[in-house]
Amino acid sequence: MSEVEARTGRLFGDLWHKLDDEQFEQSVALFASRFEANGFDLSWLKGKQCLDVGCGGGRYTIAMSRLGAGQVTGCDISDDGLANARLRAEGLPNVNFEKASALDLPFDDENFDFVFSSGVLHHTTDPDKGLDELTRVLRPGGYLYLMLYGGGGLRWAASMAVRPCAQDLGVDFIDKAIGKTGLPANNRRHFLDDFFAPIVEFVTWESLLAKLEARGYGEINRWGRDDHDAEANLKDVSKMVMIFSQAVELAKSADPETLKLAEEGLATVTGFHHQIEGIIAACERGDISHQTVVDKIIGEQIDDNHRVVARKAGTS
């Protein structure tokens, strides 16, 4: 395992066990909610061999199991995440977990009917190789679900601009600041992801579509805006302001350098927040459309995340 993979595994492995049972069950339910909202017939999963690549704490692995999959394998690089996933999935006979990298899957060619990978490849050193691996283990006629960051817009610009300050302050410090805001657990997870994942890559829709077509996928269905998606919330930058406001308060009892970093972070996200307020005000005056607001703040025309279901050519 590379050092980047080890760091990524440590970051994400520490996130899942802090969800209580209710929060975890809510995250499990997102699987069905998202697929149903986008017209996917979940009865198709019944009896199928499924793979969850980058399963984390196992929430989507468990969701597929409960929906009637014949066998679901979850794989991840994090020992802590896998330990939590095994605990959560205890008593489910059609679930197993393995430690594995998305860039080197330990499975035979054309082994699975359904391959699921949400928010994983954009944190790897070689997303194209990861997509090759997902494709290799998928049977002809099977479905791939993929979520990747679309990027663009002020939301992602703010997140990337404040990353250096956050990283200098450290995971524990920012995590404590997030806790002081009272934001829900899913917000904690995605802000720590944005600020501290060693690699964060973005892809345009045109580029992703070309990559899928080149690998023989058809029936490529790009999902529309997802109301369940915390990252697509127009208020995300205001939440960053909340986080760094709390960071400044915490830093007041620390050393001057820590306070300076926290204040720099707050100034950065506040600047982006003021830009967003100006855009929203222009919309309220009728100067620009709501779609323009969404495009400027979130980025890609549909979502700042690409969520795609595609079918591999051929029949098994």
- Whether 88 and 161 map to the same domain: the answer is no
Query: Nearest CA to 134 among 205, 53, 54?
Result: 53
- Whether 193 and 119 map to the same domain: the answer is no
- Whether 54 and 156 map to the same domain: the answer is no
When pLDDT is averaged across residues 123-147 and rounded to a whole number, the result is 97
The 10s digit of each residue's pLDDT in 184-240 is: 877 888 899 999 999 999 998 999 999 999 999 999 999 875 544 434 456 789 999
When pLDDT is averaged across residues 34-49 and rounded to a whole number, the result is 96
Asked whether residue 308 is domain-assigned, the answer is no
> What letter does residue 101 receive in the DSSP assignment?
B
- Whether 166 and 44 map to the same domain: the answer is no
110 pLDDT higher than 70: yes
- Whether 186 and 119 map to the same domain: the answer is no
Last residue of a domain, one of 112, 128, 149: 149
Q: Taking the CA atoms of 9, 174, 242 and 237 in sequence, report the sign of the dihedral they define.
A: negative
- Whether 121 and 254 map to the same domain: the answer is no
Counting runs of H as helices and runs of E as strands, what totals does the chain give?
A: 12, 7
Both structure tokens of 270: 């506040």
Q: Please report the pLDDT score of residue 298 as a whole number.
A: 74
Separation between Cα atoms, residue 217 and residue 206, nearest integer Å: 14
- Whether 139 and 170 map to the same domain: the answer is no
Last residue of a domain, one of 117, 149, 181: 149
CA 255-257-261 angle, to 5 degrees, is: 120
- Whether 1 and 53 map to the same domain: the answer is yes
- Whether 143 and 240 map to the same domain: the answer is no
Query: Nearest CA to 77 among 21, 2, 130?
Result: 2
Q: Please count the structural domains in the chain.
A: 2
Asked whether residue 263 is domain-assigned, the answer is yes
Asked whether residue 313 is domain-assigned, the answer is no
- Whether 175 and 188 map to the same domain: the answer is yes
More confident: 297 or 268:
268
> Which domain covers residue 159, as residue numbers?
151-197+229-302
Asked whether residue 213 is domain-assigned, the answer is no
Q: Report long-range pairs for 32-40 (Cβ below 8 Å, ≥24 apart).
A: 32/63, 32/67, 33/228, 34/223, 34/226, 34/228, 34/307, 37/226, 37/228, 38/221, 38/223, 38/224, 38/307, 38/309, 40/309
When pLDDT is averaged across residues 56-68 and rounded to a whole number, the result is 96
The 10s digit of each residue's pLDDT in 277-316 is: 999 899 899 998 887 887 787 765 445 689 999 999 987 6
What is the average pLDDT score of the chain?
A: 90
- Whether 123 and 191 map to the same domain: the answer is no
Asked whether residue 126 is domain-assigned, the answer is yes
- Whether 167 and 105 map to the same domain: the answer is no
